[in-house]
């Protein structure tokens, strides 16, 4: 296999990459070349890695690193979000072995990947990862993560009929109200979604998104409405919430969604805007001829004590088909650098917990007050 490691793609190389990306059965939006700009917006260095056999691409992956020193040496990790993209498992094995060998020479601490393969087909990939020394990145999650698919090949009436009675009620109520849901193409309006999302992530103790990352995402992906769209919900001039979708030729994904809960309650009363927002996203995905709508995280068996229970309960109203996919896996390349990386992760988790502490205390206080 001929391996190529590039920091930039020429016009011809980009065309070849995109053709493979668009026709692969296990592709994902984040492996489209345009998403490399988002990594740059985060201060990272994207590396376009491809494997070719007889002049034809058989595997691709955008690996992102943040060098500690000039020249790319001693980075804490190289990660490939929902990649690499491939159909042939044996060729992937050769590809990832070459990737690991190359990154070891650069002093990179670990390689993190998450091929977008579904089970039971993914069992072969799972075995190869274990054979090569990869371990689940999130030990509690294990080797498999859960999501849900809504079938978009049905008519709009059929899709809507499969929703819960509650979701249909709010969708119809929204159609008769002053609620406006539309694509956002202005940066000032887009920043409203960013602030809403940032607040939500802070109170939940989740990894924050930097403003530079969001600006790059909006500028290169969401504003042009080809690889993704940012939807905003407005009540006259008031911003209520937003979500964005990204897509490949077959599947649309919804990675982020947030609302201004207090504003929604004040202006709309009992109307839950999440349902019409998601329904509009599904209709846009259907217009792009996507077959599936991935709700990006879902399980029917989520426990009430889980922090994602309410989120999964909301998504369950759209009756998605439960799907198991390969979870994020990590392979240690340099034990010393990886130890620094683990300490860095622990520090960040602590910071996120401290930021969310006021919300957690307030929530517990309200819960205790309600019980009394």
* CATH number of the structural domain spanning residue 178: 3.40.630.30
Rounded CA-CA distance 238/174 in Å is 15
Domain count, the chain: 2
- Confidence (pLDDT) at 185: 92
Cα(334)–Cα(107) distance, rounded to whole angstroms? Answer: 7
Q: Quick check: helix, strand or coil at residue 290? A: coil
CB-CB contact of 86 with 58 (8 Å):
yes
Q: Would you state the pLDDT for residue 16? A: 97
Considering the domain architecture, whether residues 23 and 136 belong to the same structural domain is answered as yes
Q: How far apart are CA 147 and CA 337, in angstroms?
A: 32
Q: Taking a C-beta distance cutoff of 8 angstroms, is the pair 277, 264 a contact?
A: no
Q: What is the pLDDT of residue 253?
A: 97
Shared-domain flag, residues 118 and 170: no
pTM (2 d.p.): 0.86
Q: Would you give per-residue pLDDT tens digits along the chain (372 residues)?
A: 999 999 999 999 999 999 999 999 999 999 999 999 999 988 889 999 999 999 999 999 999 987 665 555 557 889 999 999 999 999 999 999 999 999 988 888 899 999 999 999 999 999 999 999 999 998 888 899 999 999 999 999 999 999 999 999 999 999 999 999 999 999 999 999 999 988 877 766 666 788 888 999 999 999 887 899 999 999 988 999 999 999 999 999 999 889 998 899 999 999 999 999 999 999 999 999 999 999 999 998 877 777 788 889 999 999 999 999 999 999 998 676 666 666 666 655 566 556 656 655 665 555 555 555
Q: Which residues contact 50 (CB under 8 A, 6 or more apart)?
A: 3, 4, 6, 17, 57, 59, 60, 61
Q: Are 256 and 197 in contact (CB under 8 A)?
A: yes
| 309 domain residue, yes or no | no
Q: Are residues 133 and 157 in the same domain?
A: no
Judge if 21 and 111 occupy the same domain: yes
- The pLDDT assigned to 306 comes to 76
Domain contains 307: no
The pLDDT of residue 353 = 58
Give the residue from 15, 62, 21, 84 showing the smallest Cα distance to 249.
Answer: 21
Both 17 and 134 in a single domain? yes
The answer on 216 and 166 residing in a single domain is: yes
Q: Give the pLDDT score at 138.
A: 86
- Look at residues 268, 290, 312 and tell me which one is the last residue of a structural domain: 290
For residues 13 and 37, membership in a common domain is answered with yes
Residue 313 domain-assigned (yes or no)? no
Residue-number span of the structural domain to which 113 is assigned: 2-144+326-368
Task: Quote the Cα angle for 107-112-36, to 5°.
Answer: 90
Q: How far is CA 23 from CA 18, 87, 229, 248, 315, in A?
A: 9, 10, 22, 10, 29
């Amino acid at each position: 296999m001929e391996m190529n490691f590039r920091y930039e793609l020429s016009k011809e190389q980009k065309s070849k990459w995109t053709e493979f990306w668009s026709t692969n059965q296990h592709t994902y939006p984040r492996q489209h070349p345009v998403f490399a700009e988002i990594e740059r917006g985060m201060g990272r260095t994207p590396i376009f890695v491809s494997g070719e056999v007889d002049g034809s691409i058989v595997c691709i992956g955008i690996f992102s690193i943040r060098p500690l020193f000039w020249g790319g040496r001693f980075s804490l990790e190289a990660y490939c979000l929902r990649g690499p993209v491939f159909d042939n498992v044996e060729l992937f094995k050769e590809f990832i072995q070459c990737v690991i060998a190359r990154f070891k020479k650069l002093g990179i601490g670990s390689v993190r990947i998450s091929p977008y393969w579904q089970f039971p087909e993914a069992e072969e990939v799972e075995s190869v990862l274990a054979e090569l020394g990869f371990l689940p990145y999130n030990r509690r999650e294990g080797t498999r993560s859960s999501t849900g698919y809504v079938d978009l090949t049905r008519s709009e009436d059929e899709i809507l009929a499969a929703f819960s009675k509650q979701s249909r009620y709010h969708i119809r109520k929204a159609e008769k109200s002053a609620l406006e849901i539309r694509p956002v193409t202005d940066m000032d309006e887009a920043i409203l979604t960013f602030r809403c999302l940032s607040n939500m992530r802070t109170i939940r103790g989740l990894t924050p998104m930097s403003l530079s990352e969001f600006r790059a995402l909006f500028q290169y992906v969401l504003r042009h409405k080809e690889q993704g769209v940012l939807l905003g919900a407005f009540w006259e001039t008031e911003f209520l919430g937003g979500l964005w979708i990204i897509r490949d030729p077959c599947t649309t994904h919804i990675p982020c969604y947030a609302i201004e809960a207090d504003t929604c309650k004040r202006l709309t009363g009992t109307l839950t805007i999440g349902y019409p927002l998601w329904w509009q996203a599904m209709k846009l995905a259907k217009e792009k001829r996507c077959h599936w709508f991935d709700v990006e995280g879902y399980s029917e068996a989520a426990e009430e004590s889980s922090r994602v229970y309410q989120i999964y309960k909301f998504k369950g109203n759209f009756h998605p088909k439960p799907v198991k996919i390969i979870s994020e896996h990590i392979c240690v390349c340099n034990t010393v650098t990886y130890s620094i990386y683990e300490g860095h992760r622990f520090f960040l988790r602590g910071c996120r917990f401290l930021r969310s502490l006021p919300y957690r205390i307030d929530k517990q206080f309200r819960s205790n007050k309600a019980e009394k």
